[in-house]
Amino acid sequence: MEPKIKVEKLTKIFGKTPQAAVKLLEEGVSKDEILAKTGDTVGISLVSFDVKQGEIFVIMGLSGSGKSTLIRCLNFLNVPTSGKIIVDGENVVEFNKEQLSNYRKNKVAMVFQHFGLFTHMTVKQNVIYGLEIKEIEKEKREQLAMDAINKVGLAGWEDKYPSELSGGMQQRVGLARALANEPEILLMDEPFSALDPLIRRDMQLELLEIQSELHKTIVFITHDVNEAFKIGDRVAVMKDGVFIQVGTPEEILENPANDYIKDFVRDIDRTKVMQAKNIMFTPSTLTYGKDGPKVAINIMQKLGISSIFMLESNRKLKGLITIDDAIRAVKEHLPVDDILTKDYHVVEPESYISDIIPLATESKYPLAVLDESERLMGIIARVSVLAGLIETDGNGTDEEQIL
């Protein structure tokens, strides 16, 4: 499948001789040397990457790294000096004025760091603004605006003014305004950085929830490594106008490209990045509904474990059997269904380790990882969570269940 966005050797030079600076870049001259020779500043330098359909692609870097310059090139708030920006197979850099206008109106929308709301307009009027520019008829734009307002959790606030809203609510208005235009691509330039930590966390979760429903292609800018790794499907770490490393959060954590990346991720809270699917393992032996307590006892004795999960034939989780209950069932001639316990915790594959820790602390048994159809995807040993062993490669053993 072709990527939604494909960027090739994108360069942005600020100065009087940009083409001369591009030539020097292509010859391998550093940005500091170019500044000394030409007086031109290299914003971004020969950057190439792609963004998949429905992906959240995060560009992370410190102040001055070029990340905001880059995202503004994607909608031509910054006009690229050279390179290609290919969206759905078309090079946006070659668009004429009319094509570029249509691209901005219909294909892409942007959410800014400082909200960018009109203070004299209500929430609904702010959200409708872009629809008016697109000359959408009144009834339709009213519907689109209210749909977007509902999506971001501002129902009932549509007639309020920005001054009556908290910072988090104002940013929700900015997000609603972008969503109301029904863009295929959402550009977000440090949208949550001005918010308090708790509100910021709520907005991150809100974005992920909205994305799970809408599946937009999102390019997200941040300087916060925890934020980048929490929301990004893939992350690009940027420095001095170039990408240092691109990969999934797990790939970057496990295989940092160089010392700069190592330093960048050193203090990251891995429990807020790694998910259940990253530390679960698939047990080699389980019991099924057709098995009796003697089969369960035999398996547990061979593996040296004290409990085992039982599945239906379609891998749906039926319950858990302990060794004590299995022995009691044999002695008292009880059916398996009479000894199954539900005294275990269930988590989703995307559950973060930080959310799993309290469950592991209070649980006597392994955690079961279930998909949407309640089928068992894997098991998380309590020791893996409680001991902080979140760098596991997932190749756990059945013996770990006892812990």
Q: What is the pLDDT of residues 181-216, one digit of tens each?
A: 899 999 999 988 878 888 888 888 889 888 988 999
Confidence check: pLDDT of 304 > 50: yes
Considering its fold, how many domains does the chain have in total? 2
User: Are residues 190 and 287 located together in one domain of the fold?
Assistant: no
Encode pLDDT of 323-382 as tens digits. 999 999 999 999 988 999 998 999 998 888 888 888 888 888 889 999 888 889 989 887
Range from 51-60, 223-232, 300-309 that averages highest in pLDDT: 51-60
- The order of strands in the sheet holding 287-288 is 287-288, 307-311, 317-322
Phi, psi of 282 (to 5 degrees): -95, 115
Mean pLDDT of the chain: 88
What is the C-alpha to C-alpha distance for residues 312 and 314, in angstroms, rounded to an integer? 5
In the predicted model, is pLDDT for residue 246 greater than 60? yes
Please report, for the domain that includes residue 369, its CATH number: 3.10.580.10
- Looking at the fold, whether 132 and 259 belong to one and the same domain comes out as yes
Mean pLDDT of 270-285: 80
* Integer Cα distance of 239 and 42 in angstroms: 12
Angle at 143 between CA 173 and CA 106, to 5 degrees: 70
**Residue 319 corresponds to which amino acid?**
G
Tokens of 6: 């494909």
Pair 355, 385 in one domain: yes
Q: Identify the domain containing residue 265 by its residue range.
A: 5-270
Same domain? 291 vs 252 = no
User: % helix / strand / coil in the chain, to the nearest 5?
Assistant: 40, 25, 35
Query: Are 302 and 386 in the same domain?
Result: yes
- Residue 393's pLDDT is 39
Looking at the structure, tell me whether residues 166 and 106 fall in a common domain: yes
- Which residue, 270, 301, 320, sits at the end of a domain? 270
Q: DSSP strand E in 154-241: where?
A: 185-189, 217-222, 234-239
In this structure, the answer to whether residues 245 and 304 fall within a common structural domain is: no
Instruction: Indicate whether 167 pLDDT > 60.
Output: yes
DSSP 275-305: BHHHH-B--S--EETT--HHHHHHHHHHHT-
Residues 119 and 258 in one domain: yes
Assess whether 79 and 94 both reside in one domain: yes
Asked if 262 and 291 sit in the same domain, the reply is: no
**Residue 115 predicted with pLDDT over 90:** no
- One domain, residues 88 and 234: yes
Digit-coded pLDDT (tens) for 389-398:
444 333 443 3
117 and 40 fall within a common domain: yes
Over residues 299-316, mean pLDDT: 88
* DSSP codes of every residue in 80-137: -SEEEEEETTEEGGG--HHHHHHIIIIIEEEE-TT----TTS-HHHHHHHHHHHTT--
User: Measuring CA to CA, which residue among 217, 197, 167, 201 is closest to residue 56?
Assistant: 217
Final residue in a domain of this structure, among 226, 249, 270: 270
Q: State the pLDDT at residue 14.
A: 96
Query: Which of 270, 299, 319 is where one domain is finished?
Result: 270
